[in-house]
A = this chain, B = another copy of it.
């Protein structure tokens, strides 16, 4: 019952050597049924619990993986974490969850922690240019997988969403309803998803022959406040957009608040589509149309890749599809809008 029961105690109680006890408990080598039974019994009676640290030290396998997300409080990353964690647990791996807080310095701090803790592998939603400790990881040859985001110049397996497809779905949806001036609220260029979605947007706009007025393009930082600022800027235009596309859920929330503050009704005066589906987006009034990826699947898949790499396999990058979930926020028609704020 005491927590400090050691393998030696178990061996003594079972009347075998520590070697045998180890072999029985790890089940790797052959052991006699008699020994097996007595060791097992002794272990239970004593309430033996293996010391994972000693085992890791000796066997150079910690059975722990690090997961570094950009922001735990962002529901999208919480879902990724959940998916990854459950997958790891199923293979009896422990997940060390860390939060970079959208801050490159903290990202480096935690990568350092991971390395010091000698985790068996790392999953990261990276940010920045990939200087600093990200390079150290590569040199340390720790199994690494990128999730949601990537960093140029790193040959690392990744699990990402099909951003181009997602943007195209959104733009096509809006174009179908007659919108030609779509205001874009993008992410920071320092993050791969920010870049990918922007260039996809430009392509989609061209493909559908919509207005490519540069004044319709803004960029935020994937936080709520920046969505408000961007929306304000877009709506202040002398020819404001009739629809908004936000590259991230939190910025979409900020934009919704700003639009409302200006007395405009989303879904009626202005159409809005957001990236990332969040459980409660359907509860907003009006419910938000989104381009959704399955965050949990992103996390689970990333963990699966990582475990593959850890076990000596090779992992191929995976791109998961996105899908459009049309809800009321995008039901506004451009004509409608024009009538409401003719030239604001």
**A75 CB contacts on chain B under 8 angstroms:** 73, 75
Q: Is A239 an interface residue (CB 8 A)?
A: no
Smallest Cβ-Cβ distance to A281: which chain B residue: B280
> Contact partner of A78 among B78, B139, B256, CB < 8 A?
B78
Q: Is A40 an interface residue (CB 8 A)?
A: no
* A115-B3 contact in complex given A79-B73, A97-B97, A284-B285, C-beta closer than 8 Å: yes
Q: Is A169 an interface residue (CB 8 A)?
A: no
Compute how far the CA of A260 lies from the CA of B53 in the bound complex, rounded to whole angstroms: 54
> Contact residue range for chain A?
35 or more
Q: Is A30 an interface residue (CB 8 A)?
A: no
* A57-B51 contact in complex given A75-B73, A109-B89, C-beta closer than 8 Å: yes
Q: Is A339 an interface residue (CB 8 A)?
A: no
**A209 CB contacts on chain B under 8 angstroms:** none
Compute how far the CA of A75 lies from the CA of B56 in the bound complex, rounded to whole angstroms: 34
Q: Is A152 an interface residue (CB 8 A)?
A: no
Q: Is the Cβ of A62 less than 8 Å from the Cβ of B53?
A: yes
A85-B98, A285-B285 given; name 4 further pairs at CB < 8 Å: A3-B141, A53-B62, A97-B97, A280-B280
Question: What residues make up the interface of A, taking CB atoms closer than 8 Å to B?
Answer: 1-3, 47, 49-54, 56-57, 62, 64, 72-73, 75, 78-79, 81-82, 85, 89, 94-99, 109, 112-113, 115-118, 136, 139-142, 224, 253, 256-257, 260, 279-280, 282-285
A-B contact pairs, 20 of them (CB 8 A): A3-B139, A50-B116, A51-B57, A52-B116, A53-B53, A53-B56, A64-B117, A72-B78, A72-B85, A73-B279, A85-B98, A94-B113, A94-B117, A95-B97, A95-B98, A96-B97, A253-B280, A253-B283, A257-B283, A280-B280
